[in-house]
Amino acid sequence: MRNKPEILAPVGSFEALYSAINNGADAVYFGGQSFGARAYATNFTNDEIVDIINYCHIMDVKVYVTVNTLIKEKEFNEAVEFVRFLYINNVDAVIMQDFGLIKYCKDVFLDLTIHASTQINCHSLEQALFLQKLGIKRIVLSRELDIDVIKDIASIDNLEIEVFIHGALCVSYSGNCFMSSFNGGRSGNRGRCAQPCRKFYSLVDFEGGLIDEGYLLSTKDLMTINDIQDIIDTGVSSLKIEGRMKRPEYVGLTVKSYKDAINGNLDKDTTNNLALMYNREFTRGFISKVNNNDITNTVTPNHVGLKIGEVVSSTSNYAYISLSSELNNQDSIRIVGDVVDAVTINGMYSNDKIVQSASKGMTVKIRTHKLVEVGSEVLKTTDNKLINKINQTLKKKIGIKGKIYCNNEYLYLEINDGKNIFSVKSNTKVINSSNPTYYLRFTDQINKTNDSNYYFESLVNEAKGFFLQVSEVNELRRTALQMLDNLRSKPRLVRFGEYRPINNNISKDEFKIYVKVRNEEQLLQAIKLNVKDILVEDKELLKHNNNISSLHLLSPRIKRDNSIDLVDFSSYDILSPYSNIFNSYSMNLFIGLGIKVVGLSIELNKEEIKDIISAYYRIHNVIPNTMLMAYGYQEMMITKHCLINKSEGLSKKGCRLCYQKQYYLQDENDKYPLIDDGNCNLKILKTKPIDLINRIDEIKEIGISSILLDFSIEKDINIIYNKYSLGLKDNLNEGLYEGHYEEGVI
């Protein structure tokens, strides 16, 4: 029989930490002041982290700290020092995204456990095997996987698998969203996502005709509580709750609900309670192979709450509400019709009498801010009674066994917590007592564990016939429990090694222009232009290999088939610029795996690129073969959910509508072209292409060995290719869009 998986809780504050632990969390995760994927959360200082680790270990709770952003070259040493701090202070695992940091820390911190962040976007068996080869102990899987794929990956020996089971969803494949980055300079890969997916958009066609509008990218919240047994049966090790930005009561309720579900104690009110605490409507997510149309809530990006009635009558200041569920004083509601009003209940009336509570079937009068319409829905958004119930959860305590006895005129207290057995001696000697009941006071005083972390499951008293001052007995108890705290939080032994870069003597190639094509039409144009180096993601296009001097297969963003290419990289010469290479250490890892040309992240600026190349040369004495995207509509997002398919009213993906005409996503400023990746994943492109033609000389001077012309929606590639192949600078247009080349991202 498999062990039950752990419940892993998000912690954004000390209050959330205590709520998680008291409600049954087996492990918690959080970030420090830097390098975490929630930069705007209330992250913890180093001193606070030490306190949390110690407390959690006392309470038999594991601690995972997020260091899961991409690391710039100049930040690398600081990131390493933070990981060193976590390692020597007994953290159970560090969650990472940056491949260079993973490789470095596996070399240097020999017993450090590393979990691969969901930002790595592991979505296949082959990727999981690759990560295991790097020394990863646990993988937080992509949230786009269904239960069958999860089961396959979870079958890998000696590899732990973690899946998200509840909370907010990213609409993009994690680690593959650049929308916040390119529309504001705040990188999601750096923990600073501005959540553009929660904005209002329109879907339009090539002529600008409106097809749909709303919050077209805003996902519902994941809830898998009714699928929990099927998820457990896959063999995963950890069930992860999202919510480091959520209130403590959310954390406590969600932990308790899923803990109860795992133990077969699911309450009939659980789903409603979870909805009351927070929901954008719920979806079972891709994990349960849900319909494409059930992923997003296009009506609102905010907390929906739970319907509890409707307005049956109203005046300018009051609404009469017929209740279908309980309503209490201090609850918050939202009245939704053509007029929307949010109200916190501070006095309500039934039959002209003020009441504190009203039940299903009653009609109550409440004060409103606006004249609301008859027939408007009434949604409860905060349930004060539920919040109070979670806040009143008893403090978790560890059960221990004790024995009181005397030896050589001293009183002893023996402690046994199942892991440690020891005895503590009183500071003063006992005296003989003729009172036959006095020794019972020893039991009473030792049992007063009060605000400590423990309670006695059993306490044997063998000290009959002796007397000791109550203050001395209390001190004995305090000393023993403090010693137990110290033993349970004792740091591990640490071992250190040295970073082992992968040696290579590959000299930088002569400057090249790589042309990436999306379809056969573009490929045939490139062949006609005598392009020397052509990149494709679609293997079907390799059939033209005899017609061209060098046709390369580019590593895809989302895996397309069941090959093993992503394990040994033997089928790939070139690493995509969407592979999030942010430092020389990541570059070295992939060159060591056989990559001949490394695509630099599209989020880097020229100074950061200089830092990477110079650092690489300093360590390896060679300049690496690097590629910079110089032209193309940058892919801001790639998503398994297809908003075109949903907006067009279709029930199943695979419609190929995006091949029949050009669609755009439009906000208040721009129109973003939409294309398919060839595998029914939707790509959202930047509204205009990056064009670095006027920077070519500078690019060469920096040491970059090649540029990429990335063609996607272009019908004719001739003009752009000829401009770059001939070095024709664009003197007439000084307003060329240059992406992050100058400013970079925070």
Give the pLDDT confidence score for residue 566 in this predicted structure: 41
Token pair 């008291």: residue:
22
pLDDT of residue 733: 56
pTM assigned to the model? 0.95
Structure tokens at 366: 């409440």
Nearest to 278, CA basis, from 196, 389, 168, 392: 168
Tens-digit pLDDT profile for residues 705-746: 999 999 999 999 999 999 999 988 876 556 799 999 998 888
Exposed / middle / buried, residue 661 (Cβ in 10 Å: 0-12, 13-18, 19+): exposed
Would the pLDDT of 56 be above 50?
yes
The C-alpha atoms of residue 721 and residue 204 are separated, in whole angstroms, by 30
pLDDT score of 438: 87
For residue 243, give the DSSP letter: -
Domains of the chain: 6-169+219-294 (3.20.20.70), 306-391 (2.40.30.10), 398-488 (no CATH), 502-634+689-746 (3.20.20)
Residue 79 near residue 465 (C-beta atoms within 8 A): no
The span from the CA of 138 to the CA of 95, in Å, is: 9
Q: Can you tell me the distance from the alpha carbon of 91 to that of 130, in angstroms, rounded to the nearest whole number?
A: 25
Identify which has the larger pLDDT, 136 or 184. 136
Cα distances (angstroms) measured from residue 207 to each of 50, 656, 664? 59, 19, 10
Q: CA dist 93 to 44, 132, 531, Å?
A: 16, 15, 48
582: confidence class by pLDDT, cuts 50, 70, 90:
very high
**pLDDT band with cut points at 50, 70 and 90 for residue 571:** low
CA-only gyration radius of the chain, Å: 31
Measure CA 367 to chain center. 41
Report the mean per-residue pLDDT for the chain.
93
For residue 638, report the phi and psi dihedrals to the nearest 5 degrees.
-135, 130
> Is residue 655 within 8 Å of residue 608, measured between CB atoms?
no
Side chain identity at residue 318, one-letter code? Y
pLDDT band at 568 (very low <50, low <70, confident <90, very high): very low
Q: Across residues 571-588, what is the average pLDDT?
A: 90
Of the chain, the percentage scoring pLDDT greater than 70 comes to 96
Q: Tens digits of per-residue pLDDT, 240-273?
A: 999 999 999 999 999 999 999 999 998 899 999 9
**CB burial of residue 616 (10 Å; 0-12, 13-18, 19+):** buried
